[in-house]
Chain A
Amino acid sequence: MKKKTFGYLFVLILVVSLAVRLYRLDLRPMHHDEANQAYKFGQLLEKGEYRYDPADHHGPTLYYFSLPLAWLSGQHTYAELTETTLRGVTVFFGLLVIFLLLSTGKYLSNPEKSWAAIFLALSAPVIYFSRFYIQETLFVAFGLGFVFCLWRFARRPNYREAGWLGLAAGLLYATKETSLVILGASVLALVFSWLLSWLKDRRHRGEKARGLSKESLAAVTGALLPLLSAVLIFAVVSFVFYSSFFRYPQGFIDSFRALSGYAQKAVEAGGHRHGFLYYFSLLLFHKGGPGTPVFSEIPFLLLALYGLVLSFARLSRKPAENFKVYLALFSLVTALAYSVIPYKTPWNLLIFYACFLVMAGIGFNHLLGLIKIRQARIILAGALLLWMAWQAYVVNIYFHSYPDNPYVYAQTSPDLMRLVARMEELSQVSKEGREMLVRVIAPPEETWPLPWYLRKFTRVGYWTASEQVERLEPAEIVILSAGEASKRTESELEAYFSQYFSLRPDVLLVLAIREDLWENYRLRKSASSPIKQ
């Protein structure tokens, strides 16, 4: 493939991946985790305030990198923010994941890079989580960046490469404290790839194990200072973010202290405990209820397997030629590590699955090379692309929030949008508009993402238990979890008209509208929608 052709093709892939990620970006209701992150970012946007919380929410890069897009969109308050602005941030980092393939330079051929880029651009789960305002896509971008930079540094241990390595590590750590798994897995993959080539070399020479040569020792010694500078840059970058740009230095220390908490969470797992094969069961084959399509990444898993086998089969005696072995080892170690950890959520598969897709690109390119008939190559590639497009559509558009989709996890029900729409209609009837008094009485797990959707209402109070609220009145609207609603007296609720709305599958909320407001709303509505004859 000519360099110019490759350049045009790569730009086209980036444009297509941007288009599919931006299409109806606000379609899926905000997940409660997204709403939570949006609230944290809203605080930073409005007050310039951020303080690292070691108990939850991970690192701050998501919030700080959201600032430019919010400013560019002319949004300066939490209430002004939109889903498109927030998810636009993760879409950008989704593109960065693809763009980073260019940094592999000569270690991957241009056709291999192209197929890997196409697979990353159109992969259904990769698109799904690129449109999700949580840390994961940033984590994958910085994670892959670190993996590539570590290889480049190992090959050329100079200060320039050390700078990139330190920056990638710092950003990765500032995104999620738990990135230590990625840092460890990549170092392990590097050491093992070197070890495998050394063993092969020894077998080839028929000699016994040799110690390091003088040249090798000199190279290691020469790399020490650049490595130290990489560590320094890592420390500075992560300190800058965790300390909220030097305001709260304690945040940096807390990020390390948080590790024990996250380790405990990973083991205890609670409701997020899933078996060893959880991630592969999501990717391999999933069938929802009757009438739903098959969700499967089998073609890419098979190609990734082929790419892995191919990489190991082509192991070179020269460590410098074993980038693919290094990447294959990293993919396997990471997949294994994440599968062993009992705490699992679908988005955690993204880091190793992105690597699998790169391996699939390597495998597919080789497979096409084996097929001598041009038309057969076109049919095969076309069929694969059609399958990807179909999967991308059903996962991201048609089943965006429905449990039939394997990547949908504790997702907010689209029915909640009806509650939000009704609130908006009621505010137009109420004399006080969006300043009407609203009470939300529900435990935290049945409250989010309401704070996001009610962000434009200026007088909203939140209570976690019914006992904390003596009287519902004079609130014009009360939103209660079904459990808390059952604690209110009949006479008190008689003053309200109530309706059910779904927050998530099997979780219902009660929207109680003060009778006078409901009557005004009903009269206005009946005037605009007469009875059918």
Chain B
Amino acid sequence: MNRAVKLALAVAAIGSLLAIFLVSALPVRAQEQEKVELKIQLPKPMFIGTPRNIKTPNLEAITGKPRGPFFVPKGTELVSLKKPVTSSDPQPVIGELSYVTDGEKSGEDGYFVELGPGPQWVQIDLKQPYLIQAIVIWHYHSQARVYRDVIVQVSEDKDFVSGVVTLFNNDHDNSSGLGAGRDKEYIETNEGRLIDGKGTKARYVRLWSNGNTSNDMNHYVEVEVYGQPVK
């Protein structure tokens, strides 16, 4: 094989590889272009201390730094604001269920709803199905607390009998009876806990908890659901 043929083959091989790379990269670029960073309005922090970067497999690392960006498809919007809320405890001890979606995220007194002890849930009716991209939960963030057995489910069935998708579950020992989960326990902060909705189609969002490290009660300052209308 003479040098010219060798050179031609080498150019062809490099060209092919380059072409394969460009072709495979094109859809990714196209996808990335469609995604935008989710902008979340954060309340002011209420406590200093405890943030520690504990590197265990099932406790969320707290770096003390802001959470990194989270990308959602363009057109994703807040779809839970002022939407109706129901609960396993229809008569909250403190506050009202409407606080869950009223848009107020302050950690001060008067902004949270307190549900009774033991496993309790709140449910948001988004009024129509959405492709859920993200759910952000603020249980109570004026103290370093961990809420137990946090489970987030979505469904198109308001009774959560069929078509239930569990997006988050850190009930490691199945004490709430909905099955054991493998997600991490986390300390509440003003950033809230962001849960990836993975584009799941649903109208209802149900959030469980089972008391916390400070008392047996269940609290919600705010829950935000971000999604896109189903076309």
Question: Are the CB atoms of A508 and B109 closer together than 8 Å?
Answer: no
Min CB gap A107→B, angstroms: 47
Q: Is the interface of B mostly helix, strand, loop or mixed?
A: loop
CA A398 to CA B83, docked complex, whole Å:
35
Does any Cβ of A come within 8 Å of B95's Cβ? yes
- Per-residue interface assignment for chain A, residues 495 to 508, with 1 indicating a CB less than 8 Å from any chain B CB and 0 otherwise: 01111111001111
Question: Are the CB atoms of A415 and B178 closer together than 8 Å?
Answer: no
Q: Which residues of B contact A413 (CB under 8 A)?
A: 213-214
Instruction: Please choose the segment from A60-68, A260-268, A480-488 that sits at the chain B interface, where 4 or more of its residues have CB less than 8 A away.
Output: A480-488
Instruction: Please choose the segment from B21-29, B69-77, B140-148 that sits at the chain A interface, where 4 or more of its residues have CB less than 8 A away.
Output: B140-148
Kindly identify, within residues 252 to 289 of chain A, every residue whose CB is under 8 Å from any CB belonging to chain B: 289
Does any Cβ of B come within 8 Å of A402's Cβ? yes
Q: Which residues of B contact A532 (CB under 8 A)?
A: 177-178
Does any Cβ of B come within 8 Å of A529's Cβ? yes
Q: Which residues of B contact A508 (CB under 8 A)?
A: 50, 144, 146, 187, 213
The closest CB in chain A to the CB of B179 belongs to: A531
Q: Which residues of A contact B109 (CB under 8 A)?
A: 289-290
Interface hub of A414, A488, A502, A510 (most chain B Cβ within 10 A): A502
Question: Are the CB atoms of B174 and A500 closer together than 8 Å?
Answer: no
Q: Which residues of A contact B180 (CB under 8 A)?
A: 522, 526
From A414, A486, A500, A501, give the contact of B187 (CB < 8 A): A500
CA A526 to CA B172, docked complex, whole Å:
11
Min CB gap B165→A, angstroms: 16
Question: Are the CB atoms of A486 and B54 closer together than 8 Å?
Answer: yes
- Per-residue interface assignment for chain B, residues 78 to 96, with 1 indicating a CB less than 8 Å from any chain A CB and 0 otherwise: 0000000000000001110
Given contacts A506-B50, A529-B177, whether A522 and B214 have CB atoms under 8 Å apart is no
- Per-residue interface assignment for chain A, residues 399 to 442, with 1 indicating a CB less than 8 Å from any chain B CB and 0 otherwise: 00010000000000111000000000000000000000000000
Does any Cβ of B come within 8 Å of A494's Cβ? yes
The closest CB in chain B to the CB of A530 belongs to: B177
Does any Cβ of A come within 8 Å of B16's Cβ? no
CA A497 to CA B52, docked complex, whole Å:
17
Does any Cβ of B come within 8 Å of A45's Cβ? no
- Per-residue interface assignment for chain A, residues 433 to 460, with 1 indicating a CB less than 8 Å from any chain B CB and 0 otherwise: 0000000000000000000000000000
CA A512 to CA B54, docked complex, whole Å:
12
The closest CB in chain A to the CB of B217 belongs to: A291
Given contacts A497-B58, A502-B145, whether A482 and B52 have CB atoms under 8 Å apart is yes
Q: Which residues of B contact A521 (CB under 8 A)?
A: 173
Does any Cβ of B come within 8 Å of A493's Cβ? yes
Min CB gap B56→A, angstroms: 4
Min CB gap A421→B, angstroms: 12
- Per-residue interface assignment for chain A, residues 502 to 528, with 1 indicating a CB less than 8 Å from any chain B CB and 0 otherwise: 100111101010000000011001100
Q: Which residues of B contact A289 (CB under 8 A)?
A: 94, 109
CA A531 to CA B144, docked complex, whole Å:
30
Kindly identify, within residues 74 to 132 of chain B, every residue whose CB is under 8 Å from any CB belonging to chain A: 93-95, 109-110, 114
Min CB gap B147→A, angstroms: 10
CA A529 to CA B149, docked complex, whole Å:
15
Q: Which residues of B contact A216 (CB under 8 A)?
A: none
CA A500 to CA B180, docked complex, whole Å:
17
Does any Cβ of B come within 8 Å of A490's Cβ? yes
Does any Cβ of B come within 8 Å of A213's Cβ? no
Q: Which residues of A contact B178 (CB under 8 A)?
A: 531-532
Does any Cβ of A come within 8 Å of B49's Cβ? yes
Does any Cβ of B come within 8 Å of A489's Cβ? yes
Q: Which residues of B contact A498 (CB under 8 A)?
A: 54, 56-59, 185
Question: Are the CB atoms of A490 and B144 closer together than 8 Å?
Answer: no
The closest CB in chain A to the CB of B48 belongs to: A506
Question: Are the CB atoms of B56 and A500 closer together than 8 Å?
Answer: no
Does any Cβ of A come within 8 Å of B39's Cβ? no
From A291, A485, A512, A526, give the contact of B93 (CB < 8 A): A291
CA A521 to CA B143, docked complex, whole Å:
31
Question: Are the CB atoms of B94 and A500 closer together than 8 Å?
Answer: no
Question: Are the CB atoms of B54 and A482 closer together than 8 Å?
Answer: yes
CA A465 to CA B10, docked complex, whole Å:
62
Q: Which residues of A contact B146 (CB under 8 A)?
A: 500, 502, 508
Q: Which residues of A contact B6 (CB under 8 A)?
A: none
Kindly identify, within residues 139 to 188 of chain B, every residue whose CB is under 8 Å from any CB belonging to chain A: 143-146, 172-175, 177-180, 185, 187
Given contacts A289-B109, A290-B94, A291-B114, whether A499 and B52 have CB atoms under 8 Å apart is no
Question: Are the CB atoms of B177 and A510 closer together than 8 Å?
Answer: no
From B47, B59, B95, B177, give the contact of A531 (CB < 8 A): B177
Interface hub of B55, B146, B179 (most chain A Cβ within 10 A): B55
CA A500 to CA B94, docked complex, whole Å:
26
Min CB gap A102→B, angstroms: 42
Q: Which residues of A contact B95 (CB under 8 A)?
A: 290
CA A499 to CA B47, docked complex, whole Å:
21
Q: Which residues of A contact B59 (CB under 8 A)?
A: 498-500, 510
Q: Which residues of B contact A402 (CB under 8 A)?
A: 215
Q: Which residues of A contact B50 (CB under 8 A)?
A: 482, 506-508
Interface hub of B110, B114, B212, B213 (most chain A Cβ within 10 A): B213
Kindly identify, within residues 40 to 71 of chain B, every residue whose CB is under 8 Å from any CB belonging to chain A: 47, 49-50, 52-59
Ordered by A's residue number, 16 sampled pairs between the chains whose C-beta atoms are within 8 Å are A290-B94, A413-B213, A415-B212, A482-B50, A483-B52, A485-B54, A494-B57, A500-B59, A500-B213, A502-B145, A506-B144, A508-B50, A525-B173, A529-B177, A531-B179, A532-B178
5 nearest A-B residue pairs (beta carbon): A502-B213, A490-B55, A486-B52, A493-B56, A532-B177
Besides the contacts A493-B54, A498-B58, A522-B173, what 10 more A-B pairs have beta carbons closer than 8 Å?
A290-B109, A291-B93, A482-B54, A483-B52, A497-B172, A499-B59, A500-B146, A508-B213, A529-B174, A530-B177
